[in-house]
Amino acid sequence: MARLPLLAGNWKMNPASLDQALTLAGAVEAAAAGWREGVEVAVFPPFPWLLPVHEQRRPESLRLGAQNCHWADAGAFTGEVAPSMLRGWCDWVILGHSERRTLFGETDEAVARKARSVIDAGLGALICVGEREDEHVAGRTDEIVGGQLARDLAKLTPADAARLVIAYEPVWAIGTGRSADAAHAGPVMDRCRAGVAAALGEAAAAGVRILYGGSVKAANVAEYVSLESCDGCLVGGASLLAEEFATMIEVVAARGLEAKR
């Protein structure tokens, strides 16, 4: 099955103003519009910018996602947002990002519950997995990533695979400028697909997109998307730079168009 590459920009808690968010989203959409056959482009703004960006965008050119949500549909959860509240405004929700796991205590059990609710709400779940530096140095990458995937996918079924994307993001590569080299990332992404197959079956796993994330920029994105195992990238810091991200869109789209030939 041909998988359309996905280039996703995680804006984190940026940019500072709504004007900047709308300008950035407009520039990304303009850059993406001509490349729809080769790449799906998504941005993940902070919650307050999500609705205005949605109102400005054309959904066929620019997909939109949230950076987090709760698993419940409603209730006494101060500060939280339900997946059902996001329906109609966005397409995806990032779950299990390392910053949420490390800084906000998001567990695999929470990721699994959220993934179930996000998909039940008709949205897609972009689940991040990856090992910490000490685990990397100890040669435990496969064990860590395999364990996270098994736990994170525990509440999903093969029918959910169409709404699932996995991002392999080594924690030591996020925001550090130390991107993982392709010789490391490629085999781990293969193991991610094997992990999805173990949880949801081979047929389901064949259609799931596996992304790489961790200090991706225009200068190194080709390294990842030219790997057979890689279906795109999740980009943090460089997704805030409109021209840089536009170059990445072109590189990833070229790979997507080539794969179709």
Tell me the three state secondary structure of residue 235. Answer: strand
Q: Which of 90, 126, 235, 251 binds ligand PEP (CB under 6 A)?
A: 235
Q: Is 174 in the site for ligand PEP (CB under 6 A)?
A: yes
**Nearest CB to ligand PEP, comparing residues 204 and 211:** 211
**In the set 175, 184, 207, 242, which binds ligand PEP (CB under 6 A)?**
175
Selected range binding ligand PEP among 49-57, 133-141, 168-176, 245-253, rule: CB under 6 A: 168-176
Is residue 42 close enough to count as binding ligand PEP by CB under 6 A?
no
Q: How many residues bind ligand PEP (CB under 6 A)?
A: 13
Query: By CB under 6 A, what part of segment 2-31 binds ligand PEP?
Result: 10
Can you spell out the DSSP letters for 190-227? HHHHHHHHHHH-HHHHHH-EEEEESS--TTTHHHHHTS
In whole angstroms, how close is the CB of 260 to ligand PEP at the nearest point?
A: 27
How many Å apart are CA 199 and CA 203, to the nearest integer? 11
Query: Which of 136, 236, 248, 251 is in the footprint of ligand PEP by CB under 6 A?
Result: 236
Measured between alpha carbons, how far is 251 from 236 in angstroms, rounded to an integer?
Answer: 17
Using N-to-C axis directions, what is the helix angle for 47-56 and 18-33, rounded to 10°? 50
Question: What backbone phi and psi angles, to 5 degrees, belong to 254?
Answer: -60, -40
- Residue 67 as a binder of ligand PEP (CB under 6 A): the answer is no
148 counts as binding ligand PEP under rule CB under 6 A: no
Q: Is 117 in the site for ligand PEP (CB under 6 A)?
A: no
The residue from 40, 97, 99, 223 that is catalytic is 97
What is the helix (H) or strand (E) element at residue 104, kind and residue range?
Answer: helix 98-104
DSSP letter, residue 171: G
Other C-beta atoms closer than 10 Å to the C-beta of 52 total 15
228 is catalytic: no
Could you tell me if 205 and 215 are in contact, meaning their C-beta atoms sit under 8 angstroms apart?
no
For the question of residue 223 being annotated catalytic, the response is: no
Q: Report the interface residues with ligand PEP, using CB under 6 A.
A: 10, 169, 174-175, 213-216, 234-238
